[in-house]
Structure formats: C-alpha cells, structure tokens
Amino acid sequence: MSSVVAENLPDAHGHFGQFGGRYVPETLMNPLQELEEEYFRAQHDPEFQRELNYYLKEFCGRPTPLYFAERLTKELGGAKIYLKREDLLHTGAHKINNAMGQILLAKRMGKTRIIAETGAGQHGVATATVSAMFGMKCVIYMGAVDCERQILNVYRMKMLGAEVVPVHAGQKTLKEAVNEAMRDWVTNIRSTHYILGTAYGAHPYPVMVRNFQRVIGDEARAQILEKEKRLPDLLLACVGGGSNAIGLFYPFLEDAGVKMVGVEAGGEGIFPERHAARFQGGSLGVLQGTRSYILQDEFGQIQSTHSVSAGLDYAAVGPEHAFLRDASRVEYTYATDEKALAAFMKLARLEGIIPALESAHAVAECMVRSPKLGKDKLIIVNLSGRGDKDVAQVADKVKLEMPR
Ligand SMILES: *Cc1c(COP(=O)(O)O)cnc(C)c1O
C-alpha cells in the first residue's frame, strides 16, 4: 500500500484514487493545463530549483530548526516532543514556501499580476510579500469576517502594497474569498497568476503545493535522523486545506513505522455548522475545482463552518488527505476551540513560543497522545505558524478559559 501512496499519485489527470481532478468552468481548462505543463517543466529544471532554494534560504530563513521541547515533554511525562519551527519563517508561517515557489513560476510564465485568497491572512501576507519582492501587482481576496478578526494581517498586506478586497458574500470567510479569486482569474487570465494557498483546488494545485511544502518533511526527516539516529514514531499537524500537514507527512509516507495524525478544527464540537472537521461530518463532493470530503447538507449545499482559527475554517479538505484517510495511511482527528486555546497558552508558558491558533490544534493533540506513549518514543509536531496575529483574539477569550 505505502509505495502506491507516495510514488504514483496523483495520476496524469490529478486524481488521488477517487479524489482530486479538475472540476472548473471551460474557460479555466486551458490556463490550468498551461500551468500544469509549466510547473512540471520547472520542477525538473535545475535552474528553477536552484533559484527557489536560494530564496528559501536567503529570504525566507530555511532550514527551520527542529526544536526539542524539553519542558513540554517533561510536563506531559511521555514521548519526546520535537517542534518543526515553521513559525520562524519570514512572515510567520509555512505559507511562504508555496508563495515563493509559485511566484517564481509566475515570473517564468511572464505574468505581471498576482491574485490570491486568504483566510487567516497568512497566505495573503506571504503572497503580498513575494509580490513586493518581484515587483508584481497584487490583489488579495479576503472574507469580510476574516478581515475583521485578522486585522493585523490586513494592515501588513496593505503596507506591502497589495490591494485587499473584502468579500461580503455568503459566510464572508475563506470559501467566498476563493470564489472571488476564481472569478478574477477567469477575467484576467492573460496577465494574472492565481497563487492558491493550500493543497487544494483543481489539478495541478494540490500536487504543486504539496511539492512546494514537502521541504518541511524533507528537512524534518534529515534533522531527526541526525539528532536521534532514527525516524520518529508520530507526526502531528493541523489540517485546514492540508498544505502544512502534507508537507510534513509526504516524505515519510513510505516509512511504515511512522504514524501520522492530521488534526482538524473541532470548533464547538461536532454539531452541524459548529466545526470544520470534514472527516467527522463530511461526505464526498465537489467544491472549488476538486473532489474530496466536504461539509454539505443533504442537498449538496455547502454548510457553514466554525473555528476559532480562521486558517482551519473551511468546508473542504485537500484531496490527497481524503485519499490517505481512505487508505488508512493517515489518521484524522480534531481539536475543539477550547482545547486549542488551552494548548496555545500551554506552549507559550512552558516553551516561550506563542503558536498560531491553527498550530495550537496540533499541539492540543500532542498533549493527548504524548502521555500515552513511552518515554522512548519520538513525536514531531509541525508548528505551522506563530501566534502574533492571534494575540488580540486570544486575550479576549482566555479570561474565561485560562488554564490553571
Ligand atoms: C493557513 C494556515 C494553516 C492551514 O492551512 P494548511 O494548508 O492546512 O496548512 C495552518 N497553520 C497556519 C499557521 C496557517 O497560516
């Protein structure tokens, strides 16, 4: 099973088993095909890889440390916990790995204008950053509700010269922002590249974004082998669209002894419209270009979602995760808002690291699993981002939920 998982997918049409593919209006078929061809050419072009690696190192700050969380390990009394410090990257999250890859691709394709959607604003900031760097015009679509709860990132994008367009349709969050970005792309296809921010959407986005993010797992693998002379027992990552998780997991898929758990947003619990855990309440469907697990009602209408963390608050999950779930290679669980907030505070107090609320979901699961594993076991938690963007929101909440 495992060699099938890692080596051969997706197929030539972007399918991961029954998931993935390309479900878009006719006008987007050609542009996606062009993007696919250009991406695979670039992937095998040593000059492109050299340029990408140069900027990842010199501008973004790679490699990121694999940090032994000594006090968290002691407190939980179980497995040894390492944190993959994507929070230390320039702009504060793993999103820049992908944004950098895609803007170099856009440059190769002769595009002059960049658009993107953003939820928590981290992808918008990463995209605005690389656009400023390469002198490209940049427009970011963001749900009006997300603009409000992530105002710091709105200011950052504007300072970087991007135009931020608040989207007032529907639930005013990430899904609506993606719709607007796709609408823009159809209209401005000649000049514009759409930097999609996660391992989601029509082929080739899921495979392309995964490949730009696998640097996380490639580094973590080499680092743990150097520090511990062996592979880890457990990998943990939060799952929004799924890019930081697949980035960490992918290089370990062939290693049968490495268990992997993706953590979705449990919100206020698994009740309709109160969470964003697609593998808990979701079913097979098509949304925004791909086939995957989706939170929808009996008529196929997309359900509202909720999470304390804007970056996990999305009704669908990346198709490769759907495949890995059905193949039983990766296990998926969820952490509630309350557990994520408690983990957020715990990591800050014990390790001096304020994590993004998204990443705090993975830390929460670590707090459940570590005590159940022996002291000889190794866990790697992907710390996908830092929590600066979340401090106002958390300060508001912890009055009630401060752990003692
Ligand atoms: C966007 C974001 C996520 C969720 O996106 P994935 O594609 O699932 O990784 C997780 N953590 C942080 C810090 C983010 O900014």
pLDDT in tens, 33-90: 999 999 999 999 999 999 999 999 999 999 999 999 999 999 999 999 999 999 999 9
Query: Are the CB atoms for 285 and 149 separated by under 8 Å?
Result: no
pLDDT at 184 over 50: yes
Taking only Cα atoms into account, the Rg of the chain, rounded to an integer number of angstroms, comes to: 19
- Known active-site residue 37: no
Average pLDDT of the segment spanning 92-116: 98
Q: Which among 376, 346, 369 has a CA at the least distance from the CA of 236?
A: 369
How many other CB atoms are found less than 10 A from the CB of residue 204? Answer: 21
Best mutation site among 85, 122, 332 for ligand 1, i.e. most ligand atoms within 8 A of its Cβ? 122
Ligand 1 neighbourhood includes 150 CB (under 6 angstroms):
no
- Known active-site residue 226: no
Taking all residues of the chain, what is their mean pLDDT, rounded to a whole number? 95
Ligand 1 neighbourhood includes 355 CB (under 6 angstroms):
no
C-alpha of residue 4 to centroid of ligand 1, in Å? 27
- Known active-site residue 397: no
pTM of the complete model: 0.97
Average pLDDT of the segment spanning 199-204: 98
- The pLDDT assigned to 398 comes to 83
pLDDT at 96 over 50: yes
Task: Kindly name the residue from 80, 95, 172, 346 that is annotated as catalytic.
Answer: 95
Task: Kindly name the residue from 117, 176, 180, 351 that is annotated as catalytic.
Answer: 117
Spatial separation of the C-alpha atoms in residues 79 and 73, rounded to whole Å: 7
pLDDT at 8 over 80: no
C-alpha of residue 313 to centroid of ligand 1, in Å? 10
Q: Which among 244, 228, 249 has a CA at the least distance from the CA of 89?
A: 244
> If pLDDT is split at 50, 70 and 90, which confidence band does 117 have?
very high
> If pLDDT is split at 50, 70 and 90, which confidence band does 120 have?
confident
pLDDT tens track for 255-311: 999 999 999 999 999 999 999 999 999 999 999 999 999 999 999 999 999 999 989
